[in-house]
Amino acid sequence: MARFLGYIAMSVDARIADSNQGVEWLDRHAPGDADMGYPEFYGGIDALVMGRTTYDFVAAQPEWPYPGKMSYVVTSRPLTSERDDVTAVEPDFARLRDRVDADGRKNVWIVGGGQTQRAALDAGMFDELRVFVLPVVLGSGPLIFADGAQAGAKLTGHKVWPGGVVELIYAFEG
C-alpha cells in the first residue's frame, strides 16, 4: 500500500496562499539558502496528488516542476495535458487510493491545496504531514485544510530551519 505524505508551507495563521492564490510571500519569508529538506523529500516520492486549482497554478508556470513522476489531478472538469505524467482522476479518494496502489506507487505527495488536503484527511490518507510554519501572518487566503471535521494528530518530529521557519511533523490518528 502506498504511503501518502504532506509537505507544505503555511503562515502562522495557517494560510497556504494569499487571497489571490499567490505564493510570493513564500520567497519573502523563507530564506533562499535553506532547502527545507525538499531535495531529499522530493527524491523519495514517486507520484503526486493535487487539486485542480493547484494544478492550474502549476501548469501556468514556465516549466512543469514534477517531470517524470505521475501527477494525479483531482478534478471533475475535463483536463487536457500533453504530458504523459499528468492524469486526471475523479474526486473519489477511496478510488484514488486503489488506483495509486494498482499503479504500483509507493510514496505519494499530497501537494495541495486545502480542499484536496481536507479530502485526503477525511479519507484517512495522511500517513505523515510535514508543515513548515513561516514567520508571517497572512491575514487572508485559503487554509491548510478546508473547513470540515476535527482530526487528532500526533507530533512525531520538529525542526527549526534558518529564517525562523519551523517544521512540524504529524501523523494522524485512525
Does position 2 interact with a second copy (CB under 8 A)? The reply is: no
Site residue total, a second copy (CB under 8 A): 36
Does position 95 interact with a second copy (CB under 8 A)? The reply is: no
CB 167 within 8 A of CB 150: no
Does position 128 interact with a second copy (CB under 8 A)? The reply is: no
Show the site string, 153-172: x = touches a second copy by CB under 8 A, - = not. xxx--x-x---xxx-x-x--
Buried b (16+ CB within 10 A) or exposed e, 41-71: eeeebbbbbbbbbbbebbeeeeeeebeeebb
Reading the block at residue 10, the C-alpha cell is 503555511
Show the site string, 37-76: x = touches a second copy by CB under 8 A, - = not. ----------------------------------------
Does position 147 interact with a second copy (CB under 8 A)? The reply is: yes
**Rounded Cα gap, residues 51 and 108, in angstroms:** 14
Q: Which of 68, 48, 64 is nearest to 56 (CA)?
A: 64
Does position 33 interact with a second copy (CB under 8 A)? The reply is: no
**Rounded Cα gap, residues 32 and 68, in angstroms:** 25
Residues that bind a second copy (CB under 8 A): 12-14, 18, 25, 28-29, 118, 121, 131, 133, 135-140, 143-145, 147-155, 158, 160, 164-166, 168, 170
